[in-house]
Chains A and B, each alone.
Chain A
Amino acid sequence: MMKRKARQSKNKARNAFSDKSQTYLHIHAHALFSSLGRIVKNTFTSVMTMLVMAIAISLASGFYLLIDNMQQLTGDIESTNKISLFLKPNVSDKSGRTLAEKIRQNKAVDKVVLITKKQALKEFKEYSGFGEALNVLEVNPLPTVIQVLPKNTLDDLQAIESLMMEFKHFNQVDFAQLDMQWVRRLQTMMQIMQRGVLILTLLLGFAVLLITGNTIRLELQNRRDEVLVAKLVGATYSFIQRPFLYTGFWLGFLSGIIAWLLVSIIMLLLQSPIEELSLLNGRAFELSYFGFFDIISLLSITSFLGVLGAWIVLYYQLQEIKPK
């Protein structure tokens, strides 16, 4: 009899516990979906807010994608620390070939390519689009060029430069040019742009934070009575702020999704001109879109910003709703 009673009370306690924990989950689920419901209900305002946020987010993420694509582009030419030797106009092809052979003997040199005047003209005609104009000229204005690719072991700029100085002293050479220099320049420019995009991203992230904060502030004002009554019947701070935090989450999450769509549309619009450009350059260039992890991190960041914006506003504004 006693045992049965004990078991019954145990069961009762367990039931009460599961009822409570279910309630806890239920309260969270309720806050999650009722805040989504509120966003849907106030369609016009929420869509406006989320579009503004989405534009800010898509600007930042769009620039990141742009940088990413440009890096891929420059990544392709990074390995070319090529030295171009432009020979004097009066140097014959034969003499050029002898010089190329001589350079090939150099231990530091990996590969030598000779581009004769004729080849140069042909290539230029093909790619520049000035073919017709060049036909008018009686003399070939292009010099013979020897392209030298140093061995991989020579990857620091100074060594390559001294090698270039060595070649410069040959009589036949008019001037020498290091292709790596403009690659370096491009890379430095990319670094500047990257930093610029980083600063821009921080600013836009801050804007997203402010927009969510302001939206939550308005929402809080609209639901002032509810907050007041909840306080008076003994609601804790965390109970009161929960639905607002979820609203912040939804704002961030949904505008993240809209931003993703916006960027994808922009990329689609840019794809065909970029393809044309890459055809002109004679290299296939694959435009990169957001990958799976990019999207996950984009949505996590925007959701986090939404919650953070809501939290900051709640921290200050809930104190102001009296009583405590």
Chain B
Amino acid sequence: MLKFDHVSKRYPEGSDVLLNVSFHLKRGEMAFLTGHSGAGKSTLLKLIAMMEFCSRGCILLGGQNLNKVTEREIPYIRRKLGLIFQDNKLLYDRTVFDNVALPLIVSGYGYKEIGRRVRASLDKVGLLGKEKKYPLTLSGGEQQRVGIARAVINKPEIILADEPTGNLDPELSAEVMHLFEQFQNVGVTVLIASHDANLLKRMGHRILTLDHGQLKVG
């Protein structure tokens, strides 16, 4: 599903953020990406989301080489991704419903379909009944779950989460992680960047460790 082949990323003004990174995630696999801050976790995720492009090597997503994607194709590939950010990236002047519905709206779904799917998605993250609230009236954990509901509403093939539990207490973190496992169980590939070592060990999934931009084996 996702294959990194000797990928390096260098910003014009600095040293290598990622160096010779290679790994392969199978369809339906769940993996954690860990490492000290500045190790390149976010950069790696940004490469998959085409927010950045790699300097060397190639990334295959569902068999498609991301280096050869045209600008016009990017939106359509992004629709297959479920992106979750540490800062949620919710729109605070819109209701929970509108936030979650956004991926469907930009894809041109019908309104009946959107309403149905938004409710299903909110139900999944345990927020059914809060459609009409504004994000700021929700707790941090609830906001994060709105972000997750938005990420999964398009039935993505792969979920990418950057520190999804960064602002949550251990109990909520475990809850959110459990949610990701549920998506994995229905065949979604999941890649989560996190530095919460204890949590990761308990979960018992594959762990990719980055150290100064290089992938450590083991």
Contact = CB atoms under 8 A, between A and B. Distances in A.
Given A324-B50, A324-B74, A235 B111 contact: no
Interface centre among A226, A228, A322, A323 (most CB of B within 10 A): A323
Nearest to A319: B71
Contact of B109 (A23, A228, A237): A23
B89 interface: yes
A236 interface: yes
B113 A19 contact: yes
Contact of B111 (A26, A231, A324): A26
Contacts, number: 70
Interface centre among B83, B108, B109, B113 (most CB of A within 10 A): B108
A322 B107 CA distance: 20
A80 interface: no
Interface string B37-77: 00000000010011110000000000000000001101111
A7 interface: no
B51 A236 contact: no
B36 interface: no
Contacts of B106: 230, 233-236, 239
Given A26-B111, A233-B83, A323 B102 contact: no
A40 interface: no
A229 interface: yes
Contact of A323 (B52, B89, B108, B150): B52
B12 interface: no
A27 B71 CA distance: 23
Interface string B100-126: 001101111111110000000000000
A232 B78 contact: yes
Interface string A136-167: 00000000000000000000000000000000
Contact of B102 (A22, A225, A229): A229
Given A229-B102, A232-B49, A22 B110 contact: yes
B108 A23 contact: yes
A24 interface: yes
Contact of B79 (A16, A22, A234, A322): A234
A73 B63 CA distance: 76
Contacts of A229: 89-91, 102
B154 interface: yes
Contacts of B81: 234
A231 to B, nearest CB: 8
Contacts of B103: 233-234
B88 to A, nearest CB: 10
Interface of B: 46, 49-52, 71-72, 74-79, 81, 83, 89-91, 102-103, 105-113, 150, 154
